[in-house]
Amino acid sequence: MVAVACTGAAVAQQLLLLAGYGRLLPGWQPWPFLLLAAPAWWWARGRWRPVERSGLGIRRLRSIPGPVYGLAVLALAAGVWAWLQPYEPYIGHEEAVYANKARAWADGTPAAGWGTYRPPGLPALGRLALAVHDDVGALRATGLILVLFTLTVTYLVAAPWSTPRRGAVVALVVLSGLGFLRRVPEFLNDIGATGLLLLVVWLLTRAQEVRRSWSLPLAAGVAVMAFYLRYGVVGNLVAIAAAAIVAYGPGAWWRVRRRLAMAGLVLAAGLLPHFVYATEVTGSPLGLVLSATEQANRVYVGDGLVYYLAIFPYRLAGDLGAVVMTAGLVLAARRRDARRRFLGLASVLVFVVLGLATDGEPRFVFLPVVLLTVLGVEALGRWRTALAAVAGLAVLTVGGTAQVVAHGAMPDPVRQSASTVPVARALAGGDGPCLVVTGYEPETGWYSGCDAVTYGQYRGAPEGTRITLVLYERGRLQPGRAELTRLIGRHEPTVRRIPTAGSLGTATLITWR
């Protein structure tokens, strides 16, 4: 009775969200009823096994080829991406950093907000996109391609490990998670890097399961690609390597030592340009990677791990994804199969390594979400009715989560952009170079075409540069009166105010040359 009631409540919530009435829920957030329903169904599993034998239309669903389901998931992802675009029309803070660098390579516009600790992969893809069409839509379409790539890899990896239909369910459950779906409409590198890391994991399993396989050198090549797309994958790769050694044993890797050595050569050759550049910029081959780690907003070492423990698994993947991930974790713990042990151990170690090295964000740990979802769908696949129910709930949850993203997650950034974008556009144009000092430097740089820095980064500008200090009524990282007086110095600035409809209020612009 509890299982049926909680499942019904979970379905009703998703239907409520789909119908556009999510405002009736606190913060557009559904209650995690499935976290109560799952153990109740498990407790009563003996009672619903006869329903399993009755089929409930399962045969008809099974007559549809697995690849058709996979393509349907990709189409759903593309549809959700397109539907969400109008709800976040302006490029966001983190997106603008990479967009500015891509545009800098295209036409020489200053790369506002860019730091040498950031990887060049996404701006390179953005440069190609801007050559096709010079606007935000082209960059966001690049993000869509990365999303479709990762979901395709998820399906292609999960299908041979279980069945094509289960592979489609894995991709569908991953897509339904709030952490994942929140990043689908954006121009970021986290989802694309996850697809490459998943390929590395799959190639490592093939290296042990297929005799005379060349998977190890290929895995090294894919790891290099992932590194240039996102430097943060180093922690993931360390966790994956440690899990592979423990799960398969050192002896298993010693038996393929020649191919392992070849993989090492591929890795070294691929990373050599980075090491040379990092040495020139920082004086150390590892300087850029360490610099990227230092950008983490940690309060103390390990606060990322505490964060992941606090949100695991519900806040990472929603209640449906949480149930599936927990089933995967249980499967990995109970089975002695090396591959399952490897996937489970890699998932846990990624949380630990990244939790110790950086601050916590859901987008940093998409890989363990995917791996545990693969295992969870495999665990639930022994009951066809349960798997069909998961697939059906996942379809509803994708739509419901899209509504949560559109009406719960996106309004705050959009309200902020309603302040920063008109101010940035007011600064566009003019003669000569320009520099904007603001707490919102990447997005201001994108919409103004000027270089932009924070107040903490400002160190003056070359002669003839138009310098503008932007102060918002409710802005962040802004100087006090004494510091502002020091920054202006002996200059005779012009001051103007721009009322905005956004959350930051009226902007004060202080300009001089």
Question: What 8-state DSSP symbol labels residue 213?
Answer: -
Question: Does 5 reside within a domain?
Answer: no
> Per the structure block, which two tokens stand in for 78?
């593309």
Regarding whether 333 and 309 lie in a shared domain, the answer is yes
Distance CA 294, CA 292 (A): 5
Q: Are 471 and 399 in contact (CB under 8 A)?
A: no
Lowest mean pLDDT of 143-147, 292-296, 379-383, 395-399, name the range: 292-296
Q: Is pLDDT of 247 > 70?
A: yes
Q: What is the pLDDT of residue 387?
A: 86
Confidence band (pLDDT; 50, 70, 90) for 58? low
Would you say how long the chain is, in residues?
Answer: 513
Confidence band (pLDDT; 50, 70, 90) for 48? low
Q: What is the pLDDT of residue 50?
A: 44
pLDDT tens column, 108-146: 999 999 999 999 999 999 999 999 998 999 999 999 999
Range 50-74 average pLDDT: 74
Confidence band (pLDDT; 50, 70, 90) for 468? very high
Lowest mean pLDDT of 37-51, 71-85, 175-189, 204-218, name the range: 37-51
Q: What is the pLDDT of residue 208?
A: 94
Question: Does 264 reside within a domain?
Answer: yes
Which whole-number Å values give the CA distances from 396 to 17, 203, 392, 446, 498, in the listed order? 9, 33, 7, 36, 44
Query: Average model confidence (pLDDT) for the chain?
Result: 91
Q: What is the pLDDT of residue 68?
A: 94
Q: Is pLDDT of 87 > 50?
A: yes
Q: Is pLDDT of 64 > 70?
A: yes
Is this structure's pTM higher than 0.85? yes
Q: Is pLDDT of 54 > 50?
A: no
Q: Is pLDDT of 53 > 70?
A: no
Question: Does 392 reside within a domain?
Answer: yes
Regarding whether 138 and 73 lie in a shared domain, the answer is yes
Amino acid identity for residue 158 in this structure: A
> Per the structure block, which two tokens stand in for 385?
């009715």
User: Which of 351, 376, 410 is the last residue in one of the domains?
Assistant: 410
Q: Which domain holds residue 474?
A: 413-512
Range 266-278 average pLDDT: 96
Beta pairing class for 434-437 and 466-472: parallel
Question: Does 46 reside within a domain?
Answer: no
Question: Does 1 reside within a domain?
Answer: no
Q: Are 166 and 378 in contact (CB under 8 A)?
A: yes
Regarding whether 467 and 384 lie in a shared domain, the answer is no
Regarding whether 244 and 360 lie in a shared domain, the answer is yes
Regarding whether 371 and 277 lie in a shared domain, the answer is yes
pLDDT tens column, 428-438: 987 889 999 99
Q: Are 467 and 511 in contact (CB under 8 A)?
A: yes
Q: Are 57 and 19 in contact (CB under 8 A)?
A: no
Question: Does 40 reside within a domain?
Answer: no
pLDDT tens column, 348-365: 999 999 999 888 889 999
Question: Quick check: helix, strand or coil at residue 298?
Answer: coil
Q: Which of 196, 192, 198, 157 is nearest to 378 (CA)?
A: 157
Regarding whether 210 and 273 lie in a shared domain, the answer is yes
Confidence band (pLDDT; 50, 70, 90) for 49? low
Confidence band (pLDDT; 50, 70, 90) for 384? confident
User: Which of 395, 410, 425 is the last residue in one of the domains?
Assistant: 410
Question: Does 19 reside within a domain?
Answer: no
Q: Which of 50, 36, 29, 27 is nearest to 8 (CA)?
A: 36
Regarding whether 329 and 455 lie in a shared domain, the answer is no
Paired strand residues for 509: 470, 496
> Per the structure block, which two tokens stand in for 484?
């502002």
Question: Does 61 reside within a domain?
Answer: no
404 or 384, which is more confident: 404
pLDDT tens column, 152-198: 999 999 999 999 999 999 999 999 999 999 999 999 999 999 999 99
User: What proportion of the chain, given as a percentage, has pLDDT over 70?
Assistant: 97
pLDDT tens column, 4-34: 899 899 999 999 999 888 888 888 888 988 9
Regarding whether 255 and 221 lie in a shared domain, the answer is yes
Regarding whether 417 and 486 lie in a shared domain, the answer is yes
Regarding whether 417 and 401 lie in a shared domain, the answer is no
Q: Is pLDDT of 263 > 60?
A: yes
Residue appearing with tokens 């994991």: 201
Q: Are 508 and 468 in contact (CB under 8 A)?
A: no
User: What proportion of the chain, given as a percentage, has pLDDT over 90?
Assistant: 72
Regarding whether 172 and 132 lie in a shared domain, the answer is yes
User: Which of 354, 387, 410 is the last residue in one of the domains?
Assistant: 410
Domain total in the chain: 2
Amino acid identity for residue 273 in this structure: P
Q: Which of 394, 326, 393, 382 is nearest to 49 (CA)?
A: 382
Regarding whether 369 and 431 lie in a shared domain, the answer is no
Q: What is the pLDDT of residue 363?
A: 92
